[in-house]
């Protein structure tokens, strides 16, 4: 098993500042994904039209980078998967905050040898406190 500080299990890392979502960010994502419906909007409480991000937009947010400073540095890391539970839609003007924690670690042995998996669980919330997504990021390290 890869050596790491076990006191990290369950520790929560939070963004120092929210990520402010703009209509340009959403439009750029739509173009990059080849989405033809670029005029998806919703009405805010005051009647203004707001650009709404496609659900896959949440995959552009990363687990907090700070958490990786505490994980093993001496062995290669590979992304091993991502599970997403969608919540409220992300809209232009939202300020998204992220909290991430090392939720689990486990070891498996496969054809290439022993691998250690780390599950980083992230919760994304908007400025109203609504959950926009819960994301489980899995990473694997050899050893």
Check residue 132 and give its pLDDT. Answer: 96
pLDDT at residue 108 above 60? yes
Q: Which of the four pLDDT bands, split at 50, 70 and 90, describes residue 102?
A: very high
Domain range for residue 113? 6-20+57-142
In a domain, 32, yes or no: no
Q: Which residues pair with 118 in a beta bridge?
A: 105, 139
Mean per-residue pLDDT, 12-27: 90
Write the CATH number for 96: 3.10.129.10
Average pLDDT along the chain = 85
Find, among 127, 37, 63, the residue nearest to 91 by Cα.
127
Check residue 64 and give its pLDDT. Answer: 62
3-state secondary structure of 119: strand
As for how many domains the chain has, the answer is 1
Find, among 123, 122, 114, the residue nearest to 138 by Cα.
122
For residue 128, the 8-state DSSP code is T
In a domain, 45, yes or no: no
Q: What is the distance between the alpha carbons of residues 62 and 53, in angstroms, rounded to a whole number?
A: 16
């Amino acid at each position: 098993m890869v050596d790491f500080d076990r006191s990290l299990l369950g520790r929560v890392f939070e963004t120092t500042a929210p990520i402010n979502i703009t209509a340009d960010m959403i439009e750029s994502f739509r173009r990059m994904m080849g989405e033809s419906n670029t005029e998806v909007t919703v009405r805010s409480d005051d009647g203004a039209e707001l650009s709404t991000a496609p659900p896959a937009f949440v995959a552009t947010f990363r687990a907090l980078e700070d958490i990786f400073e505490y994980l093993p540095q001496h062995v290669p890391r590979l992304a091993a998967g991502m599970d997403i539970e969608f919540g409220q839609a992300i809209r232009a003007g939202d300020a998204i905050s992220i909290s991430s924690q090392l939720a689990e670690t486990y070891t498996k042995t496969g054809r290439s040898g022993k691998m250690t998996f780390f599950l980083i669980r992230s919760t994304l919330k908007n400025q109203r406190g609504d959950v926009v997504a819960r994301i489980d990021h899995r990473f694997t390290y050899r050893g």
